[in-house]
Amino acid sequence: MSPVPADPALVLAGLVLAHLVADFLLQTDTIVADKSAHGRRALRGLGFHGFGVAVCLVPFVALFAERGAAALATITLGHVVVDRVKATATRRAEARALAAAHARHAAPSASAVALGAGWTPVPAALFALDQLAHGAILVSGWAAWLAGAAPTASAAEVVDRLIGGWDRAVVHDVALTAVVIAALAIVNIRAGALFVAILVHPREVVSGSAIPDDPVVSAPRASGWRIRLGPLEATADPVAAAKSSAPKDSRPAHASPARVGATIGVLERLLIATFVLTGSQAAIGFVVAAKTLARFKQLDDRDFAEYYLLGTLASVAVALFSALLAAAALASLAR
């Protein structure tokens, strides 16, 4: 008896989860910085990241043999090419934003949450386009090699042994639900946080001491300026970061407002995603209202109001979009 073709929805959901694990769990800040550099350093970063993507796709090779290997090669190569294009485009956009800020001789805002003189939405837009391109490559690889494919006889035998006497329909539904929920969690915890951070704090000019020449940015740089790298801020200038984080008096130190805000954003996205999946969309307004009420007095500050509105809208958009996609994937269970 020949193996039954694998469920297309489960295979595609598995590919999406593999991508998210490779991009947002296995990819380190060092790899991200290397990919954005030049020469051998860039090749090293792309190589390490490509290896991580391939490792996450190995289970599909075990299930589908040659077809799985072809999908692995197609998706991994496409992933590396897209990442390089995105890194190069982001670096150029950041350089243009920095050059424009210096040309205007604009001093950065004194507010810790201001969008900054060198702010630009382009890096966040490129982040979103990068993920859409990866999604297109995943769907193309799935359609070309795995859609309608059946596992090998040996893989089907292993699956049969694992399932044993359990109901196959129930096992399928549980597996698909687990994969979709895991992917939704990664999007709203890691990917959403990075997207919001890049949007509200891209590479921008801030006042401070000069830093050595940065190969990632080719824009002219005046003395007395340094670079802040959004979510990579802690690695941009470790000496200055250590000084700024050191307590200035004997009073107990408080948690970083940015870190607390990021945690609030994660909880906000998880709650919104839960409300969408459970059909309680009306409750989303209470989440946003509670967050706004806590910051109500700070909204008189225009810099903070811009930062807050931009970050909140982006966070809610990520949660809604990802939850609607998850709901669409889970809708197949009711059929």
Task: Show me where the domains of the chain are located.
Answer: 8-245+254-334
Residue with tokens 């494919």: 149
pLDDT band at 157 (very low <50, low <70, confident <90, very high): very high
Q: Which residues of 45-70 are buried (b: 16+ CB within 10 A; e: fewer)?
A: bbebbbebbbebbeebbebbbebbeb
Runs of H (alpha helix) within 105-144: 122-141
A 10 A CB-CB count for 124 gives 21
Question: DSSP 3-state assignment of 203?
Answer: strand
pLDDT band at 154 (very low <50, low <70, confident <90, very high): very high
As a whole number, mean pLDDT of residues 179-188 equals: 98
121 within 8 A of 154, measured Cβ to Cβ: no
Instruction: Pick 11 or 119 by higher pLDDT.
Output: 11
pLDDT of res. 219:
35
277 within 8 A of 330, measured Cβ to Cβ: yes
Instruction: Pick 81 or 241 by higher pLDDT.
Output: 81
Tokens at 292, concatenated: 């706004």
CA contacts within 13 A on the Cβ side of 306: 13
326 within 8 A of 188, measured Cβ to Cβ: no
pLDDT band at 118 (very low <50, low <70, confident <90, very high): confident
Q: What are phi and psi of 147, to 5 degrees?
A: -65, 120
Q: Which of 28, 73, 27, 76 is nearest to 53 (CA)?
A: 76
Q: What are phi and psi of 121, to 5 degrees?
A: -80, -5
Please state the pTM of the whole predicted model: 0.83
pLDDT tens digits, one per residue of 195-253: 999 998 876 544 333 333 333 333 333 333 333 334 433 333 333 333 444 444 444 45
